[in-house]
Structure 1
């Protein structure tokens, strides 16, 4: 986060303001962009899937054609209602609010997109492990504090590519300007390396990688 903080104040903040205006003219969802990565890494067994923190239900809707049963869960009742309305036509989809740990498994897929840093990480990873069926897969897209040189290199790459990706995905300038996200936003407190330590301890063999859009991905398959 240090590089991002420096970028916001450099040259009196004028450069950061100009970039923010450019991004607002060509907006894109950093989280939704990773739905394709999730769909490309689905498990072979596809009986049931759980999307934790499903928000407006975009990923739930995308998973519905691939699984016999899909459950979306969001602690925010308003978000859960919106997701349920979005998926009303899918008979194999259900959306719940309340505690995601109370959802009945097992699941062949558990997903989290920009959710893990809202939770107690060790506890959440242990809960995911228990919810997964043998051979089930955990796919997460997350955020972490930047600390190492590698973290800052990826931050720099994200800052530079963010406007270009926005222009490709949203070539026509938006008229509404900067709009607040419809879901709760929380800055991560754990560094990438700290999170990596928790992931490898709870899920031996998991793959965690830096990505553009200030994100990282986690992939783990529960042993059969």
Structure 2
């Protein structure tokens, strides 16, 4: 499986926007504590929405962890946290700030999810990441997630399932043109290919998860821009 444009951009282009904007769209001059506060807020929102299983006896993989914004927040709810990301720069930043004994990081290759330091997980968590992958890239990655989950293990992820309108497609083409001209941002949002979302639907994702072998426990779709999926490995 060859890597996608999204993966190659996130791996190689930290200097384009700065590592903080690559991890979360906040001010580039934001302090580390401000970044961590956004992580605690988002993890709490996820816990409230999904009733994700937590506990000091559980190990969780933070998939697409960036510099650990959410990994450090997850460490308050899990016994051990491994963050994995394709960007060496973001992983290095997370490691530089890591003062938690139950948090570690790995840099992945973007071609699959095969952690080296921990090989089995009770939970896999992903936030604002998976909709950046084309379906043909997403499916093998979800298969890898299934393989590394323990029996009864839980996959919890967030996905933007808003259908693409003609305005969305036109906006994407416009941003592609701006990016080609060297204009990196427009109206506060990056034009880079790494920020392109792909059209996924609740139906297509549910079918994909079931075909892989997951049992879908619940889907929380009150907000289509931030729908949550909770699936279990039987």
Q: TM-score, normalised by structure 1?
A: 0.62
Question: Which whole-Å CA distance do the structure 2 matches of 1:191 and 1:222 have between them?
Answer: 21
Aligned to 1:167: none
> Would you say how many aligned residue pairs link Structure 1 and Structure 2?
166
Aligned to 2:19: none
What aligned pairs does 1:28-67 form with structure 2 within 5 A after superposition?
Answer: 34-40=42-48, 41-43=51-53, 46-67=57-78
Aligned to 1:160: none
Alignment CA distance shift 1:179-1:92 (3 Å): same
Question: Which whole-Å CA distance do the structure 2 matches of 1:94 and 1:183 have between them?
Answer: 28
Aligned to 1:91: 101
Question: Which whole-Å CA distance do the structure 2 matches of 1:96 and 1:180 have between them?
Answer: 26
Alignment CA distance shift 1:123-1:76 (3 Å): same
Aligned to 1:219: 230
SS at match of 2:124: strand
Aligned to 2:143: 126
Aligned to 1:138: 155
Q: Is the CA contact (8 Å cut-off) linking 1:116 and 1:124 kept in structure 2?
A: no
Alignment CA distance shift 1:34-1:144 (3 Å): same
Alignment CA distance shift 1:129-1:209 (3 Å): same
What aligned pairs does 1:148-163 form with structure 2 within 5 A after superposition?
Answer: none
The alpha carbon displacement at 1:213 in A equals 6.9
Question: Which whole-Å CA distance do the structure 2 matches of 1:136 and 1:183 have between them?
Answer: 33
Aligned to 2:211: 201
Gaps of 5+ in 2: 1-25, 27-34, 166-186
**Greater C-alpha Rg:** 1
Aligned to 1:9: none
TM-superposition CA deviations, 1:48-77 (whole Å, max 9, x none): 111010023121011112222210011011
Alignment CA distance shift 1:209-1:142 (3 Å): same
Aligned to 1:101: 113
> Using CA pairs below 8 Å that are at least 6 residues apart, which structure has the higher relative contact order?
1
Aligned to 1:3: none
Question: Which whole-Å CA distance do the structure 1 matches of 2:104 and 2:121 have between them?
Answer: 14
Gaps of 5+ in 1: 1-23, 149-176
Alignment CA distance shift 1:63-1:44 (3 Å): closer
Q: Is the CA contact (8 Å cut-off) linking 1:43 and 1:135 kept in structure 2?
A: no
Question: Which whole-Å CA distance do the structure 2 matches of 1:212 and 1:205 have between them?
Answer: 19
Question: Which whole-Å CA distance do the structure 2 matches of 1:191 and 1:39 have between them?
Answer: 22
Alignment CA distance shift 1:183-1:139 (3 Å): farther
